[in-house]
A and B are shown apart, each in its own frame.
Chain A
Amino acid sequence: METFNHIVNGLGVALMPINLWYTFVGVLIGTIVGILPGIGPSASIALLIPVTYGMDPASGLIMMAGVYYGTKYGGSTTAILIRTPGEAASVMTSIDGYEMARKGRAGAALAISAIGSFIAGTLGVVALTLFAVPLASTALKFGPAEYFTLMLFALTAVASLSGKSPAKGLLSTILGLMIATIGIDLQSGQQRFTAGIAEFQDGIGFIVVVVGMFALAEVFRGLEKIHSGTSDPAMRITGKLWITREEWRRSKGPIWRGSIMGFLIGILPGAGGTIASLLSYSTEKRLSKNPEEFGKGAIEGVAGPEAANNSDTAGAMVPLLTLGVPGGGATAVMMGAFIMHGVQPGPLLFQNRPDLVWGLINSMYIGNVMLLILNLPLIGIFVRLLYIPSGILYPLIIAISVLGTFAINGSMVELYLVLFFGVLGYIFDKVEIPIPPLVLSLVLAGIMEQSFRQALTLSDGNPVVFVSSGISATLVFMSAVSLALPFLIPRLKQVKPEQD
């Protein structure tokens, strides 16, 4: 009953005019960001954090969440019209969506994408509402050892699943943890790796790293692309912006399956929307009576993956809100935003700030309705964004990054650091070191080290504490498996053909 009251109160928070406005602003920015190729949800949330500084935390977080799930809607537009996913998770949509557009069915592809996204997004939030409290109640029983092993599992899973090379994922994770060790150690008061620079005593700002590695690095890549002259022309929206009865019949199943698959994958650390849409696409192809149509404009190839990558966002909010453990790059930036607003995500959030957490969750229902309106009747207006020259857009993003970073602390050192991390992000992309594990470990490092040291202090320095309870032992085992599997699977695949 208490939870029901909190949900109702949260609905009141979400329906406040100011929060309705910020939900709208968030989903509008999300749609725009999703449509513009190159700038992903992580970069846009990071750039918005400074702007939301003076706001009420609930309003600021509602707006940033709107950006997060809004990008998933917008991402399909570019995938369908220019075969370039606006954000990574729309990559599967670009296969059949673009083929539908070439056959004069761009309107239908955009319509099923928006409808599928709406159904999946809403179902995802319903599941988030149902799962959140039981999971948060379980997490309340966690001690420092359980928390440390949980975060260890999140990091190892993300390191293993990000990018092509698990070793590079691990390297990225460790680099993030190393950056987090810079500054004054909170438990002993000793300076670590500050090199005598006063600005480093409080550590390297999270915003500095995220804006540099996501926003600035993406701009560098984009400008390089313009310089080398590799851009795709945009297709015009053709055909009615609606679907036929037959297309709806073919899309219903993929949308339902995609919604369930996306939500479950979203909960797992490291998997993310790209894997969800990939799995949905391959499942639909396998289940289809006409698999040969896939890749040539099958509507199931748009409906399923779009549903999967949208319900994934609600799934990803489950571990973030209930455990305080993000499962990927964008949710890590969201967690950074929570912390910068003085709100610590985790099980206590549901006890201490039910108005905020339920206001945020309920705003997602409203945001999904707004997104359906923005992405169906108004899509023609947003498509015009594709005609903004990138040569104007990318320089503006650099200026926004500089202004946003400087406005927080007024520090020139932080501007140089943003540039440093921008170049580092650009180099990481060139040598294929994934960035999300670094950001995730940077966000988790503080709590992780604290839990590690608290657990060892409580056990008089005995490391057995990390395997003494069933939960922590299981998590340690799962961490070891998630690290070992990516190395073992290729070996097993090599052995199998030899036996055959």
Chain B
Amino acid sequence: MRLGEFSKDADTPVPPLPDSPNGSPAYSGETRIGNREVMANSRFMQSVLAASDDCIKILSLEGKLLFMSEGGQRVMEVEDFDALRGCPWPDFWAGAGLAEAQASIAAAVAGRSSRFLAAANTAKGTPKFWDVKVSPIFGADGQPETILSVSRDITELKRSEDEQRLLAQELRHRVKNILMLVRVIANQTIRTDVPAETAREKFSARLMALAESQDRLTSTNGARAELHALLDAVSTTHGGGRLHFSGPKLELNSRCTLAMAMALHELATNAMKYGALSNENGHVEVTWRVVEVAEKGSQFHFTWTEDGGPPVQQPSSTGFGSRLIEKALAGYFLGAARIDYRPGGLFFELEAPMDALTREDT
């Protein structure tokens, strides 16, 4: 509204802004325009300053606060500017910001503009991140007279940038882990004593299990999975309705998710080939629980019990599956894993500190 009034009334050019680049005296036009225009001009400037969410300040050449815009007092959470008037502006900064603020004042005194990004708290102690531009305001003699400092609150922008960076880092980490796992699977599956066709099928099935586990990743950053979801995947692809599971709702970190998904794939594949899922009547019961153990804290206890399959024989050599389960899985869960080839059905158990399941890797 006021802007409209102003434009209608003003038939003289707008006086140069305080930081006009040619350094011309700031208000030299005032004497040539009438009182009405001066009033309108001042009202206009005030409303512009009040509307801006930037914290606009005028400082003395010593860096003391002379003026702070209304909008600036809002974002800086200043209730009474009079209490701050005359305080050294650099005192609002700490660490790197303090040095930047001091340097920017020195630059303005020398007639140069500068800009920096730094963190500072508001008057009420709310941490914020600012984009700050500091410029000299020249007097009639062409020398810096006062200093203009405009700080823009970029806290939200900074936060989302930080979040993006973290996500990208996490993603790189996960991709690296997965590629490492693919290499191990390739090395373990493609071997001189295994026919190429068999190796190809096994390799492909293992990669599919890995891909399946990635589909089950939930949570906001996509790095965790529900144990239920992993078992649901195995039960759907391998179980034929004869793999049952029960246990409390539980989330695994990315490494444990990968290791668990691979282990479940190996167990289920083995059960379909030789174990309880290889005939018509066998079934697999999977249970897990969290128990409090003295001096150990919360412990995760997981069991895989096969029943009703053909008689079990201890394998003559240890394949990738059993090594993966007994060594790698146990290692990733920082616990102990054991496969027991009981005559009535294969039994597997894993015990690990709860801590290891949820902690994000370094």
A binds B: no
Interface of B toward A, CB cutoff 8 Å: none
Interface of A toward B, CB cutoff 8 Å: none
